[in-house]
Amino acid sequence: MSANTAIRAGILGATGAVGQKFIELLEGHPWFTVSAIAASERSAGKRYSEAANWIGSGAIPKTVAAMTVERCTPDLDCDFVFSGLDSSVAGEVEGAFADAGYPVISNARNHRMAASVPLLIPEVNPEHTALIEKQARAGEGYIVTNPNCSTVGLVCALKPLHDAFGVDKVIVSTMQALSGAGYPGVASLDIEGNVIPYIGGEEDKLVTEPRKLLGRLDGSEIEPAEIVVSAHCNRVSVRDGHMECVSVGLAQKATLAQVAASFRSYCSPVTGMGLPTCPPSLVELLDGDADPQPRRFVERNGGMTVWVGRLRECEVLDFKFVALVHNTVRGAAGGAILNAELLVKQGYLNARKAHIA
């Protein structure tokens, strides 16, 4: 795709933690260019560099720094939108954009479990995009979502096991990074030297979303996977990277060596499709006694690989391990960009000749 045919992306919630990650990751993207940015009334009308409290380690890309933040109304000059909107407004705003003919690639929870909305991880369930056909909207508008950031780490780690042996029970305890709470997030006096054993709504998402993601497309419906998940979610004082201690029960008997081999040999259905944001491996199994650690692994492979370590037999279920996912990259903006790339390849997303008036 040449620069002349770049597909123009708008970013809803461009000033937030996820919105900023979109801007960082889309800089120099071979297919997409940022043509519009929008956020709340607080930010609208300001230059992006004034409106956003930039938390990235690099500078704000020059082209975006000078752009004016717009309101989140469905008249943005772009071919589709990424959404990093707060869930208090995402449901309504994303619906309005889709109704107005915009493809919406969302990070928010609001539409994830709707029967006609794909909940998508390209390497896990690319065929679920067929649900788009069920969204009765005028024009080319639709909504595609990516899962909760902890769900992404869990499901990417479960996928090789589920394909090889069937997963039927999961117990997961998370240690979730501060950037997962958005900006400004958790007050420093609450989290410094502390662990908070509660993240509102998070445990429910870990229980329900894996069933849809690992479910089977049956005609135009998803038949949920029969997996029971018990989740404990904790906020810890780490900047980026959610760690998850996972125990799994398998439907078929397997040895430790077979489980390790399933992680190492997993080949995703989108391998070889040439998606620019697709990492060399969805999951990498590590041998080090004390791996993975956020500081050492979270940025590797562009933040798009899920790192698995400490694989061993479990005294209660069958096997246990630790997984690490970059919450704002694989768990949010990077995952959404990869979703958009898959939609391009599948013919659902393109540069529209006539822009919405």
Ligand X SMILES: NC(=O)c1ccc[n+]([C@@H]2O[C@H](COP(=O)([O-])OP(=O)(O)OC[C@H]3O[C@@H](n4cnc5c(N)ncnc54)[C@H](OP(=O)(O)O)[C@@H]3O)[C@@H](O)[C@H]2O)c1
In the complex, the smallest distance separating the C-beta of residue 26 from ligand X, rounded to whole angstroms, is 15
245 catalytic per annotation: no
What's the CA gap between 297 and 307, in Å, rounded?
A: 7
Q: Are 52 and 92 in contact (CB under 8 A)?
A: no
Q: Among residues 52 and 164, whose Cβ is nearest to ligand X?
A: 52
Cα–Cα distance between 182 and 112 in angstroms, integer?
Answer: 19
- What's the min distance (Å) between Cβ of 268 and ligand X? 21
Q: Looking at residues 11 to 30 of the shown chain, list those that interact with ligand X (rule: CB under 6 A).
A: 13-19
- HSE-up of residue 148 (Cα within 13 Å, Cβ side): 26
Q: Does 89 bind ligand X (CB under 6 A)?
A: yes
Q: Would you say the C-alpha torsion 33, 39, 41, 46 has a positive or negative sign? A: negative
Taking the least distance from each CB to ligand X, the nearer of 244 and 318 is 244
Per the CB < 8 A criterion, the answer to whether 107 and 203 are in contact is no
Span near ligand X by CB under 6 A; candidates 82-90, 207-215, 280-288, 309-317:
82-90
Does 10 interact with ligand X (rule: CB under 6 A)?
no
Q: Is 149 a catalytic residue?
A: yes
CA 322 to chain centre: 19
8 A C-beta contact, residue 283 and residue 304: no
Concatenate the DSSP letters of all residues of 319-338 into one string. EEEEEEE-TTIIIIIHHHHH
Please say which residue, 33 or 146, places its beta carbon nearer to ligand X.
Answer: 146
Q: Any residues with CB less than 8 A from the CB of 189 and at least 6 apart, and which? A: none
Under the binding rule (CB under 6 A), the answer on residue 85 touching ligand X is yes
Q: Least distance from C-beta 220 to ligand X, angstroms?
A: 27
CB-wise, 48 or 319, nearer to ligand X? 48
CB 89 to ligand X: min, Å: 4
Among 72, 78, 111, 149, the one annotated catalytic = 149
Nearer to ligand X, 108 or 158 (CB): 108
Q: Which of residues 219-258 bind ligand X (CB under 6 A)?
A: none
Smallest gap from residue 144 Cβ to ligand X (A):
14
- x-or-dash pattern for ligand X, window 33-62, by CB under 6 A? ------xx-xx-------------------
Is residue 98 involved in binding ligand X (CB under 6 A)? Answer: no
| Nearest residue (CB) to ligand X, 179 versus 301 | 179
- Indicate whether 84 belongs to the interface with ligand X (CB under 6 A): yes
Window of 130-138, 180-188, 275-283, 297-305 that interacts with ligand X by CB under 6 A: 180-188
Q: CB 41: neighbour CB atoms within 10 A?
A: 8
Q: Does 183 bind ligand X (CB under 6 A)?
A: yes
- What strand order describes the sheet that includes 283-285? 228-235, 167-176, 242-250, 319-325, 306-313, 283-285
Give the helix/strand (H/E) hosting 235.
strand 228-235
Do 79 and 350 touch, CB atoms closer than 8 A?
yes
The residue ranges that bind ligand X (CB under 6 A) are 13-19, 39-40, 42-43, 72, 84-87, 89-90, 107-109, 149, 179-180, 182-183, 327-328, 331-332
Q: Which of the residues are catalytic?
A: 149, 242
